[in-house]
């Protein structure tokens, strides 16, 4: 079975082609290139290197968010379009879970984060491979929860460095930081996670932002101001 994995949910771009249990080709980049420009050429180049024709793909795995609104939409749209065109199943996986999947054997809590501005983060908390929490929350609340657990914590993600001093200050000797190689999403990991989840039809696949968009927030604020609950 041939899988195509696509993750454009944050700054890094990750694409992979896996046949059965073998990674045929994989692409990772943290260059700040707009995914609307870089994603399809990367997919086409990878298919060419792997000597795979589009009609040979059996399933699509896509990171559904959270992350950049635009980035998430691009990846999900590409995945849905390919799944629809090729008439194949698509599986969407949490972008936070994909990051955490880089550290499956850590003996404690794995916490993947993406910066969400204003001292907030998108956070995925996992223990023994199981989801403990996936949420948009303040960093203060996240660190309090992790500190109270009493367990060692491994932070994963390229945005960890933004908050590292505050993280260390709270969690002290209980905290560890994944190295750079494990802080980028892997589309091969995405595919492995997708294999364990239920496939859906293209038209039912939607992004998972974990918070409303700025436009939605402004609309709700305006409605509330006008007396509409």
Is 224 inside any structural domain?
Answer: no
Q: How far apart are CA 81 and CA 61, in angstroms?
A: 12
- pLDDT tens by residue, 79-96: 999 999 999 999 999 999
What does the pLDDT average to over 104-126? 97
Is 13 domain-assigned? yes
pTM of the model: 0.91
State whether 137 and 81 are in the same domain.
no
**Can you name the residues that pair with 3 across neighbouring β-strands?**
18, 59
**Res 216 pLDDT > 60:** no
pLDDT of residue 219: 44
Q: Hey, which residues does 111 pair with through a beta bridge?
A: 125, 155
Instruction: Using the predicted structure, report yes or no on whether residue 139 has a pLDDT greater than 80.
Output: yes
Q: Residue 141 above 70 pLDDT?
A: yes
> How far is CA 219 from each of CA 67, 72, 214, 215, 223, rounded to the nearest angstrom?
21, 22, 9, 6, 6
pLDDT band for 116, please (50, 70, 90 cuts): very high
Say if residue 87 is in the same domain as residue 191.
yes
Residues 47 and 127 in one domain: no
Task: Tell whether 40 and 149 lie within a shared domain.
Answer: no
Q: Is pLDDT at 128 greater than 80 in this prediction?
A: yes
Mark whether 10 and 89 lie in a shared domain: yes
How many CB atoms are closer than 10 A to CB 117? 6
How many independent structural domains does the chain possess? 2
């Amino acid at each position: 079975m041939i899988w195509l994995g696509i993750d454009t949910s944050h700054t890094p771009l990750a694409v992979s082609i896996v046949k059965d249990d073998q990674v045929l080709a994989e692409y990772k980049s943290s260059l700040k290139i707009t995914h609307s420009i870089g994603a399809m050429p990367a997919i086409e180049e990878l298919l060419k290197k792997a000597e795979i024709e589009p009609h040979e793909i059996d399933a699509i795995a896509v990171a559904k968010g959270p992350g950049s609104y635009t980035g998430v939409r691009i990846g999900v749209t590409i995945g849905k379009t390919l799944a629809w065109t090729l008439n194949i199943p698509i599986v969407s996986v949490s972008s936070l879970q994909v990051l955490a999947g880089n550290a499956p054997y850590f003996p404690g809590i794995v916490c993947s984060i993406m910066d969400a501005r204003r001292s907030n983060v998108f956070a995925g908390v996992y223990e023994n491979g199981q989801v403990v929490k996936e949420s948009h929350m303040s960093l203060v609340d996240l660190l309090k929860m992790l500190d109270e657990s009493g367990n060692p914590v491994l932070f994963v993600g390229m945005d960890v460095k933004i908050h590292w001093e505050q993280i260390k200050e709270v969690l002290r000797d209980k905290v560890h930081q994944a190295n750079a190689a494990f802080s980028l999403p892997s589309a091969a990991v995405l595919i492995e996670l997708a294999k364990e989840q239920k496939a859906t039809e293209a038209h039912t696949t939607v992004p998972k932002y974990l918070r409303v968009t700025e436009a939605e927030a402004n609309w709700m604020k305006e409605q509330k101001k006008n007396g509409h609950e």
